[in-house]
Structure 1
Amino acid sequence: MQDWTTECDVLVVGSGGGALTGAYTAASQGLRTLVLEKTPLFGGTSAYSGAAVWLPGTAVQERAGIGDSTDKARTYLRAVVGDEEIDRQEAYVATAPEVVDLLERDPHIEFEWRAFPDYYKAPGRMDYGRAINPLDLPSDEVGDLREVIRPEADVDRAGEPHPEGTLNGGRALIGRLLMALHGTGHAELRTETAARSLIVEDGRVVGVEATNAAGETVRIRATRGVLLAAGGIEGNAALRTENGTPGKADWSMGPRGANTGDLLRAAVEIGADTALLDEAWWCPGVELPDGSGAFMVGVRGGILVDTSGERYLNESLPYDQFGRAMIEHGSGSSYLVFDSKEGGPVLPAISIPNISAEKHHAAGTWVSADTVEELAEEIGVPADALRRTVEQFNDFAKHGVDEAFHRGEDPYDNFFCPPGTGADAPPNPALSPVSQGPFHAARIVLSDLGTKGGVRTDADARVLRADGTPIDGLYAAGNTSASLSGRFYPGPGVPLGTAMVFSYRAVQHMRS
C-alpha cells in the first residue's frame, strides 16, 4: 500500500501543446486533473514553435474554404508514411476534427488557417498547406499567466522575462490552453515538480513518484490513468549517444534542462517497449556564439557547401529533409555562403533565435571577406572549388533552373522567397545569385526540434510492451512516444497535431 500525497483522476506529465490538450480534455469533462511540469515554466518545446498544427479536415479549414478534407489528408499521410502504423494513421486523421471542435467550444481557444505548404509532393498534398494556428493572444487577455508561460527561444535562453506585448505562435497556443484549463475549475497545475518513477499495483500504473520544488518526495495517485507527454531525449547527451541519435544535445531546439528522457526510462523500467530512438524532427541549425544551434526554417538565398566547397543539396528543402540530407552526406562542417545584397551580413534565411551578426563575427561562427576566394580561405575550403560552385550557381540563377538540385521547383522552395515585380522579377525566386561582396559564411550544424522516438503506443495512446500488450493505466503522446510518421515529417505541425490528438484519445480511453 502506498502513502499517497495527492490523488486525482487524470495525471498529465508535461505541459506542451499535447499535454495541455489532454489535460483540458479531462478537466472539461469534470475529471480531477493534475499537470506536472518539472521546470518553472509551462509550454515546453511547443512554446518555442510557430504553432502550426497539422489537424486536417476540421471546421477551421472549412471556414477558410481551402478544400481540405479528412479523406484527402488520409491519402496524403498514407502516401508519405506508407503502410506502417495504419491504425494510428487512421485514428489521427479521423479524430482531428473532434479535437478542434472540443477546443473551439471553449471561449479562450480559436484557430485560423495560415498558408504553409505540406512538405512532400504526394497525392492529397495541399500546396498552400492545411495546418491551422491559434489566434494571437493579446496581453490584456492572458494577464498574470504570462509569467508562467515559456517565452520564445532567444528570450528564454538568455534568461530574460517574457516581453510585453501580444503572445503569438506557441506562446499563444500555451496561453490559450492554460486559460481554458483554469476556466474548467477541475485542473491543478504544478511547476518545478519532476516525475521520477511510475507506481504499479497489480500490473496497473496507478501513479507517479515525483520531487517537488522543495526537494520533497511526493506520491501522486491517478485513479483513471497517467499520461506521459514530457518530450523526448533530445536534451540528454548520454541517451543520444546510447541510442545512436545524430547531432548534439547543445544543437537541439528543446528547452534547456527539460527534455532528458526521465519518463522514458521510467516506462522502460516497468516493461515498455521503444522504437525510433535514433530519430528526430531534423532541421539545419545556424551555430550560435555559445555553441548551440538555431532552427533555420527556410532559406531565401545563399548556397550550402561542405568542406570541399561543393553544394550537396537543394537549400530550399523542407527543414526535416534538409537535416536528413546533412546526415546522409556526413561530410562534417557545412557553411551557408551568402552575399551583401541587403546591405550587410544579413542571413538569407529565417533563423530562430536570430542573433546579431556582430555577435557571430566576434565568436567566429560567421566570417566575411571581400572575395569568394578570400572567404574560402577563412572557412578552410579549396578556393578554386568554391569559386566554381558559386559561378555555377549564379549561372543557374541567371537562367532560372538549378540543374544540380532542382531548387525552386516545389511550392515549398518558393514559400519564403520574395517573387520580385516587373523587370526586377527573377526567373526563379528561389535562385538569387551570390554576386555582391563582401561575402559571408555561417556555420550550419545538424539541429532538431526534438527527438521523435519513445515508447510504443497504440491508437488510444496506450503504452505497449514488446509483445504488443498494453500496460494498464499508462498512456503516452508527443515526443515521449514513437511517432506514427516514422522517418518522415509530412507537414508543418505534425509533431503538435499528433501530440494533441493522441493526448485527447488517451483521456477518452481513460473514461471508457
Structure 2
Amino acid sequence: MDAKKEVDWLVAGSGAAGMTGAVVAHELGGDVLVVEKEPMFGGTTCKSGGVAWIPGNHRQGEFGVADSAEEGYRYLKGLIGDSVSESRLRAYAERAAEMLQFMMQHSHVDFTPLPEYMDYYENVPGYKPGGRSMDPGVIHLRKLGAEGRSIRDDFTGPLPFSVTVPEGRCLGEMNFKSYLLGAWLLLRYLTDIPARLQGRQDQRLALGPALVSKLRLTLKERGVPLWLNSPVTELMVEQGRVVGANIQREGEQVAVRARRGVLLATGGFSRNAALRQQYQHPAVGGDWTASAPGATGDGIVLGQAVGAGLGFMGSSWWSPTVVLPNDEARLALIAGKAYPGSIMVNRAGKRFTNEAAPYEDVVKDQLASESRGEGAVPAYLLFDATFRSKYPAGNIHPGKLESDARLPKAFFETGLLTRADSIAELAEQTGIDGEQLQATLARFNENARRGEDPDFHRGATHHDRYYADPKVQPNPCLGPVETPPFYALRVEAGDLDTKGGLQADEHGRVLGEAGEPIPGLYAAGNTSAAVMGDTYPGAGATIGSAMTFAYLAAQHAFNNKAPQEKTDG
C-alpha cells in the first residue's frame, strides 16, 4: 500500500525559488515539505553567482543609490515591452523589495547592494548605474552540520577558494590590492586544516552556494523537512484543483496532499535534449549549459500534464561557456571576454559581436552568425601573449600566475586552448579562415590602438568597462592582438539555464492554455516562463525573479484563500 502524507504546502525543488517559497510558507504558519529529485540540494542556484536584481530595495540608500519601484518598472517595461503581462511586470517591480525585506527579517538571507554593478542597458529609461544587483554575502558551511555534506558542491571556478562578487572584481584588476586580497584568501583557505585534510571544498562559501546554504540553514532551524532523491512523478488533481503530488521516495510511492498548494520550482529544461530540439535553435543543446544536472524540465512536463500553457520556450539565460576537459564542468564566460587584447571570431575569421556586451547578447549574436553559415558554434576567443600574461580567461589564470607549462595538458589536447607562434598557424589549427582572420585583426588592431571599435562599439558602455582594465586608455576594453604567441579559447553557445516554462500570473499561479489559473498550482524560477521575457535586465535577474515569485506564490496561497479541509489517512 502506498504511503500517504499531508501538509499545507508542497515545494518541488531546492534552489533559491523552492527554498524561498518554503521559508515564506513556514513563516505564514504553514506545515511545509520540500522535495528534491537529486541527491544534493541547491540546484542551479548553487552553480550561480547568487546575485539578486532587486529594484528599489531598502538597502540602496546606505550606498548612495536613489531608486524606486516605478523606475524599476519603467526600465523593465522599456526593455521587455508587451511580451510579458503588465500585471506580472508590475508585481515584480513593486514587490521584489518587499520580498527582500521579508527574507532578511525571517531568514539568514542577507543581500548587499553592489553600487558599481550596473543594469545592462543604459539607454533604456529607468536604468541605474548600480545598486539593484545584490551580493548574497558569505556563510561558513560548518553551520549546516551534517547537512553541509549534501549541498551541491560542483560550483566551477578558476580558484580553489570562494570569493564574493566584489572580491572577484578586485582580484581581476591584478594590482597591489588584488595581490593582498588573494594572499589573504589563500592563506585563510590553506589554514582551514580540517577541511584540507578531508579534501573538502572551501568552507567559507560565497555566491550561489552561500545563498543556498543560508536558505537551507533557515529551513533546518525551523524543522522544515527536505527529502532528497525524491522526484515528483505526478500531480494529484481533484475536481480541477491540484491537491498534491505523488513522490517517489526510497523506492516507495508517497502520496502527499497539499492543502494550500504545490509550488513547482524544479528549474528549467536545459538538460532535456528532446525539449531543446523541439523548441530551441538547432545549434544549441544541453552539452554546453552551466545549469545543474537535474534541470531536465520535470516541473514543466508535470504542469503540461494538467493543462498548463507555456511561454518563451525558445529562450534561455544565454551565456558563452567553456567546457572543461573532464567533460563535466561548464564555466560561464562572463568576465574574461572584456579585457583588452582579445577578440571573438567565428570560423569564417570574422568578428560577430561586441565581446564585452552582456553575455546574453553575445550568444544571441553567436547563434545569428551560425544561422548565417559562418561557423560560430563554437566560436573562439583569440588573445595574444600580453593578454595571456595579465588577464584570466575562463578557467585559465593569468600567465604570471600560471605558465603554459603548468596548465593541464588536456586543455591543449582537447582543443579547448590552442597556442601558435603566428596567426596563420593558429587559424590552421582551429579551422578558421586564415586570410579573413588576418584582415579582421589588421582592422581591429588599427582601431584598437586609437581606442575605437566602429564595427561593434566595444567599450562604449558602463557595462562593457566593468570587467575591463581601467589602466588601459583611452578604451579599457581595447588593445591590439599582436604579440606572439597567440591563443584561441574555444567558446560554446551555452546558457545558465532555459527561461521558458509554465505560464504564470502576478501571484505565481500557473495558467492553463486559455489563460485561466489552475487552482492549487504555482510555479517560480526557471520552471515558469520568465517575467524577464527574452531579455536579461541585469546581474541577478534570474534569482531575483525566482525568489520574488516564490514569495508571491506563498503569500497568495496562505493569505488569499482558506485551506482545504484535512482528509483522513
The one of 317, 331, 344 aligned to 1:294: 331
Number of the residue aligned with 2:354: 314
Gaps of at least 5 residues in structure 2 are 161-197, 561-569
Q: State the alpha-carbon separation in 2 of the partners of residues 144 and 56 from structure 1.
A: 36
Tell me if the contact between 1:11 and 1:227 (Cα under 8 Å) persists in the aligned partners.
yes
Q: State the alpha-carbon separation in 2 of the partners of residues 345 and 113 from structure 1.
A: 29
> What letter corresponds to residue 184 of structure 1 in structure 2?
R
Q: Cα deviation per residue 1:338-389 (whole Å; 9 max; x = unaligned)?
A: 111155596545789x995533102122111001111111112222221221
Number of the residue aligned with 2:280: 244
Tell me if the contact between 2:349 and 2:432 (Cα under 8 Å) persists in the aligned partners.
yes
Q: Using a 3 Å threshold, how does the CA distance of structure 1 residues 508 and 43 change in structure 2: closer, same or farther? A: same
Compute the displacement of 1:181 (Å). Answer: 1.5
The one of 513, 533, 542 aligned to 1:495: 542
Compute the displacement of 1:464 (Å). Answer: 0.8
2:478 is equivalent to residue 431 of structure 1: yes
2:29 is equivalent to residue 30 of structure 1: yes
Compute the displacement of 1:471 (Å). Answer: 0.8
Q: Using a 3 Å threshold, how does the CA distance of structure 1 residues 297 and 478 change in structure 2: closer, same or farther? A: same
Number of the residue aligned with 2:455: 404
Gaps of at least 5 residues in structure 1 are none
Q: Using a 3 Å threshold, how does the CA distance of structure 1 residues 343 and 92 change in structure 2: closer, same or farther? A: closer
Number of the residue aligned with 1:225: 261
Compute the displacement of 1:96 (Å). Answer: 1.1
Between the two proteins, the alignment pairs up a number of residues equal to 500
The one of 471, 483, 486 aligned to 2:530: 483
Q: State the alpha-carbon separation in 1 of the partners of residues 281 and 204 from structure 2.
A: 37
Number of the residue aligned with 1:449: 496
Number of the residue aligned with 1:170: 208
2:506 is equivalent to residue 506 of structure 1: no
Q: Cα deviation per residue 1:103-137 (whole Å; 9 max; x = unaligned)?
A: 11136222111232211121111123511121211
Q: Using a 3 Å threshold, how does the CA distance of structure 1 residues 356 and 206 change in structure 2: closer, same or farther? A: farther
Q: Cα deviation per residue 1:42-63 (whole Å; 9 max; x = unaligned)?
A: 1111011111101111112232
Number of the residue aligned with 1:325: 365
Q: Using a 3 Å threshold, how does the CA distance of structure 1 residues 18 and 230 change in structure 2: closer, same or farther? A: same
Q: Cα deviation per residue 1:398-451 (whole Å; 9 max; x = unaligned)?
A: 10111111000011111111211xxxx421000022122110111111001111
Number of the residue aligned with 1:334: 379
Tell me if the contact between 1:297 and 1:350 (Cα under 8 Å) persists in the aligned partners.
no
Q: Using a 3 Å threshold, how does the CA distance of structure 1 residues 350 and 287 change in structure 2: closer, same or farther? A: closer
Q: State the alpha-carbon separation in 2 of the partners of residues 136 and 144 from structure 1.
A: 19
Q: State the alpha-carbon separation in 2 of the partners of residues 452 and 219 from structure 1.
A: 30
Taking structure 1 as the reference length, the TM-score comes to 0.93
Q: State the alpha-carbon separation in 2 of the partners of residues 343 and 469 from structure 1.
A: 55
Tell me if the contact between 1:151 and 1:162 (Cα under 8 Å) persists in the aligned partners.
no
The one of 194, 203, 207 aligned to 2:244: 207
The one of 228, 234, 237 aligned to 1:191: 228
Compute the displacement of 1:162 (Å). Answer: 5.1
Q: Using a 3 Å threshold, how does the CA distance of structure 1 residues 39 and 18 change in structure 2: closer, same or farther? A: same
Tell me if the contact between 2:60 and 2:131 (Cα under 8 Å) persists in the aligned partners.
no
Number of the residue aligned with 2:430: 379
Q: Using a 3 Å threshold, how does the CA distance of structure 1 residues 25 and 245 change in structure 2: closer, same or farther? A: farther
> What letter corresponds to residue 312 of structure 1 in structure 2?
F
Q: State the alpha-carbon separation in 2 of the partners of residues 288 and 152 from structure 1.
A: 13
Q: State the alpha-carbon separation in 2 of the partners of residues 35 and 349 from structure 1.
A: 35
Q: Using a 3 Å threshold, how does the CA distance of structure 1 residues 453 and 502 change in structure 2: closer, same or farther? A: same
Q: State the alpha-carbon separation in 1 of the partners of residues 279 and 387 from structure 2.
A: 43
Compute the displacement of 1:65 (Å). Answer: 2.2
Number of the residue aligned with 1:148: 150
Tell me if the contact between 2:3 and 2:252 (Cα under 8 Å) persists in the aligned partners.
no
Number of the residue aligned with 1:105: 105
Number of the residue aligned with 2:133: 131
Aligned-residue CA RMSD in angstroms?
2.3
Tell me if the contact between 2:2 and 2:253 (Cα under 8 Å) persists in the aligned partners.
no
Q: Percent identity, please.
A: 36
Higher mean alpha-carbon deviation, 79-88 vs 310-319, is at 79-88
Q: State the alpha-carbon separation in 2 of the partners of residues 245 and 231 from structure 1.
A: 20
Tell me if the contact between 1:38 and 1:193 (Cα under 8 Å) persists in the aligned partners.
yes
Number of the residue aligned with 1:91: 91
Tell me if the contact between 1:234 and 1:252 (Cα under 8 Å) persists in the aligned partners.
yes
Q: State the alpha-carbon separation in 2 of the partners of residues 181 and 286 from structure 1.
A: 34
2:415 is equivalent to residue 368 of structure 1: no
